[in-house]
Amino acid sequence: MKALEIIYKKNTKEKLTYSEIEYMVNSYVKNKISDHTMSEFLWAIYYNGLSMDETYYLTDVMIKSGETIDLSSIDKKVVDKHSTGGVGDKITLIVSPIVASAGVCVPKMSGRSLGLTGGTVDKLESITGYKLKITKKEFLNELETVGCAVISQSDKIAVADKKIYALRDEIGAVDSIPLIASSIMSKKIASGSDVIVIDLKVGKGAFMKNIKDATKLAKTMVNIGKYYNKKVICTLSDMNTPLGRNIGNSLEVKEAIDFFKGKYDKRLYELVVYISSLMISAAKGISQRKAKNLVINLIESGHARNKFVEWIKYQGGDLNKLKDNAKKYIVVSPKAGYVNEIDSLSIAKLVHDLGAGRHKKTDKIDYAVGVVLNKTIGEKVNKGDILGVIFYNKKLDNMEELFINSFKIDKKKRNVKKIIIKTIK
């Protein structure tokens, strides 16, 4: 009866107490209330929202539902970076070693993707030998010696979030700002960093479709950070266009390797430098301008590349052995003009159908498949020029058509939108 009373209270727009939220979450984790009853509770939140205090309560209960990581033994400034996910988002692979090479510690627990494209864990699994599961002692030792470590998300952190997130995904109650904020922040705070930089994607290829809602989510996460005495910085970045030129697990690792060799897409470089600068500035207490100069120097001098190689090797990975056995299909442009748009959602769906993404967590993915964009937004293209390459193992009947239709090519060139929209601290 108590669960129904709490749901009724939320449906009549009354504020819930800490103990009421704690009762619902913990009862669900312990299987004392059903999926159906919890679904009703989540829908009540979805339609009626949560106050800031209620959002703090929900986050706190989810943190306390599992273990927390103590990073106080590390004798370095520690900063975590999170991305809300996007098409071609290989930022963690590039930013982590850059920031680590500046003497700042970057602990990362990343997840697999359930959706259109692979998550960071899937990208790293495309590197032969890379160990995603290491002991807590090995994790802390790597952070001390290398400065960055990326492992798979622990099942013991924010246990309630994992179960609630799966139910939200199943019933479609995903795009609720307080539920998203408490989900992200419970995992980040439990992971132990005092500084958290969040790359919040906005646009067709992201779950936040517009700047207004993304801003509200960013402010909510910053406020949760303050509640826990954590410095949280949120950058809104454009995800209407794929990030970089490679989309697909091993293909994105290859783009990260190319980045450290000095071959990079302009928009990818801009976002990498910006996020890295934010992380270093916040951790070291220096201006963002000084941090940016340091980042550029670390990239150009080869220090960041050396750290990238050191990190991958430390976790058993061999960058010369990627799981990249796929066939190539070259796509040429049917007309001349300027590339004014590349639909990131359309590209993501194609890459998913090729086998790079999952419908459910247990699905196996093909690490080798994906697409490479030979032309990107703002570039001139002639009829017959190579538009891109599709990497496949199972050929789709309409894959060439889907790829071409993702591009909007016009006679007149439009201004290219900046990838950084705004930053909220």
Residues labelled as active-site residues: 82, 161, 168, 183, 187
Please give the biggest Cα pair distance in the chain: 68
Query: Which residue is listed with tokens 């997130």?
Result: 165
Cβ neighbourhood burial of 64 (10 Å; 0-12, 13-18, 19+)? middle
- Phi, psi angles (nearest 5°) of residue 173: -90, 60
Q: Is the dihedral of CA 265, 150, 112, 188 positive or negative?
A: negative
- Pairing state of beta strands 148-152 and 246-247? unpaired
Euclidean distance between CA atoms 252 and 268, whole angstroms: 12
Q: What share of the chain is helix, strand, coil (3-state, %, to 5)?
A: 45, 15, 35
Euclidean distance between CA atoms 318 and 304, whole angstroms: 17
Query: Which residue is listed with tokens 């150009």?
Result: 300
Question: CB atoms < 10 A from the CB of 129, how many?
Answer: 12
Euclidean distance between CA atoms 234 and 219, whole angstroms: 8
